[in-house]
């Protein structure tokens, strides 16, 4: 109920409003490996989620995961499992938890944590190879709404 | 905490639309019709439990790239080797000496490359081939040192590799260099950067898999220096390490740094038993 209210308010007042309710990377509430609460209160857009997952400069999930669902985009990796059916195998809360930090579900996995800003070894400044400046805030790999968009797309991957 | 095991699914994953000409798994590397190169063999004892079979990066490249390395006339890396032959015989520095004055023909250096990086007793440190060459330049020739992994240094390393082609890599993992080797091993398994990946994440756990358009190899260094089609030049080992660390969104180490010297020693020893192959051709 609460979520709907926020979403409606955000809709009425523009996206800036939803920002105030964004859960920061350090404050995401895990229950085991699940994250039940939306990070933004704004429902994810599956179309945008697909774009993020298959775009090299954004989520780049495609570099490790293949799927029939985005077979039109070339060069699928095979480091992780195929994602077709992920929407059947996992609940929304589980999927959100997997995208935020997959290490909560799979200890030692090679899948990066997409919504995390702390606890890195030799953190670089993007792909420059240089150290991340101390006074520059660390951006997560995906922002909160992008995580929601990706989760929304993963939910559509049913068989 | 619920744990779902998906490794089975991962193994069954299909590469869709990759479209790349995949390596012929059974191809063997013979250079110039007679020089047989070991590109696949049993892993050295220190890798027990981690990797059973070691494979050169050559086996993971597509057939067009593979073929370029089978004939020295098709291998662009050999042009740099020819340049280095000229440098070898050219006197430089305050002593007016060339490499040749002290070492004879480049062929007389056969067997040097396979054991590098190695412990140098007098200096009390592990040295890469480039460090040793620079020591000769600075202290025996009175010449300027070469910039690490830059043109001249990599070309000379390629010459010294080429005269050892076909000989088995045999880097010591014990003795006085052992602590450096251990440091390299530690670096190999340490995750870095925002993507939080170690060398092992890609080259030990996932070799043979596609990562986007790249066919992941074991990240061996027996083929170095490598001529890469991507940048059309010879590439040194540390430059390759730099690229791989950078790709984890991490702060890299620099070419010639103690960390990369140690990492090179450890990675080279993971290839003990493979043939020296440099200069090789990669994409």
Give me the sign of the Cα torsion angle B50, B55, B58, B60: negative
Instruction: Give the N- to C-terminal CA distance of chain B in Å, as an integer.
Output: 43
With 90 as the cut, is the pLDDT of residue A2 above it? no
The interface residues of chain A toward chain B in range 123-152, judged by CB-CB distance below 8 A, are: 123-132, 138, 141
When CB atoms are compared, the residue of A64, A107, A122 closest to B251 is: A122
Contact B59, B25 (CB under 8 A): yes
Over pLDDT 90: what percentage of chain A? 84
Q: Please report which confidence band the pLDDT of residue B1 belongs to, taking 50, 70 and 90 as the band edges.
A: very low
pLDDT value for A110: 97
Does residue B273 come out as left (phi exceeding 0), alpha (psi in the -120 to 50 range) or beta? left
Catalytic site includes residue B102 = no
When CB atoms are compared, the residue of B12, B13, B249 closest to A124 is: B249
The answer to whether B15 contacts A105, with C-beta atoms less than 8 Å apart, is: no
| Dihedral angle computed from the Cα positions of residues B163, B281, B191 and B53, in that order, rounded to the nearest 10 degrees | -70
Q: Which residues pair with B234 in a beta bridge?
A: B227
Return d(Cα B69, Cα B78) in angstroms, integer: 10
pLDDT by residue (tens digit) across B21-80?
555 668 999 999 999 999 999 999 999 999 999 999 999 999 999 999 999 999 999 999
Tell me the nearest-neighbour CA distance from B193 into chain A, angstroms. 4
| CB < 8 Å to A97, chain B | none
pLDDT value for A9: 42
Contact A110, A5 (CB under 8 A): no
Nearest-by-CA chain B residue for A107: B3
pLDDT value for B158: 98
């Amino acid at each position: 109920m609460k979520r709907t209210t926020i979403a409606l308010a955000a809709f009425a007042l523009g996206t800036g409003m939803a920002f105030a309710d964004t859960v920061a990377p350090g404050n995401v509430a895990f229950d085991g490996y699940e994250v039940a609460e939306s990070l933004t209160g704004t429902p994810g857009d599956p179309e945008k989620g697909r774009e993020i997952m298959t775009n090299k400069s954004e989520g780049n999930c495609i570099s490790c995961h293949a799927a029939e669902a985005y077979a039109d985009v070339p060069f699928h990796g095979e480091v992780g499992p195929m994602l077709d059916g992920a929407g059947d195998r996992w609940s929304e809360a589980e999927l959100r938890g997997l995208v935020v930090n997959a290490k909560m579900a799979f200890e030692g996995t090679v899948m990066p944590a997409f919504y995390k800003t702390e606890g890195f070894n030799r953190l670089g400044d993007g792909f420059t190879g240089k150290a991340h400046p101390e006074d520059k805030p660390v951006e997560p790999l995906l922002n909160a709404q992008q995580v929601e968009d990706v989760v929304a797309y993963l939910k559509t991957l049913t068989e | 905490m619920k744990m779902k095991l998906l490794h089975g699914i991962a193994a069954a994953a299909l590469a869709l639309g990759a479209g790349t000409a995949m390596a012929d798994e059974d191809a063997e590397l013979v250079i110039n019709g007679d020089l047989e190169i070991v590109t696949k063999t049993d892993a050295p004892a220190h890798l027990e439990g981690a990797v059973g079979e070691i494979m050169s990066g050559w086996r993971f490249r597509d057939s067009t790239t593979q073929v370029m390395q089978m004939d020295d006339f098709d291998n662009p890396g050999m042009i740099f080797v020819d340049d280095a032959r000229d440098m070898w015989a050219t006197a430089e520095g305050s002593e007016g000496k060339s490499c040749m004055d002290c070492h004879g023909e480049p062929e007389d250096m056969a067997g040097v490359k396979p054991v590098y990086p190695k412990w140098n007793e007098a200096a009390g440190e592990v040295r890469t081939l480039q460090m040793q060459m620079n020591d000769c330049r600075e202290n025996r020739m009175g010449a300027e040192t070469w910039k690490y992994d830059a043109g001249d240094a990599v070309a000379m390393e390629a010459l010294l590799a080429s005269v050892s082609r076909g000989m088995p890599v045999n880097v010591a993992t014990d003795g006085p260099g052992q602590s450096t080797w251990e440091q390299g091993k530690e670096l190999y398994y340490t995750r870095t950067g925002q993507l939080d990946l170690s060398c092992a994440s890609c080259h030990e756990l996932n070799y043979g898999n596609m990562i986007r358009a790249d066919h992941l190899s074991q990240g061996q260094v027996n083929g170095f220096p490598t001529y890469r089609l991507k940048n059309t030049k010879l590439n040194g080992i540390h430059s390759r390490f730099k690229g791989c660390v950078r790709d984890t969104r991490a702060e890299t180490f620099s070419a010639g740094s103690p960390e990369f010297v140690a990492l090179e020693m450890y990675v080279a020893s993971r290839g003990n038993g493979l043939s020296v192959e440099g200069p090789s051709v990669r994409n």
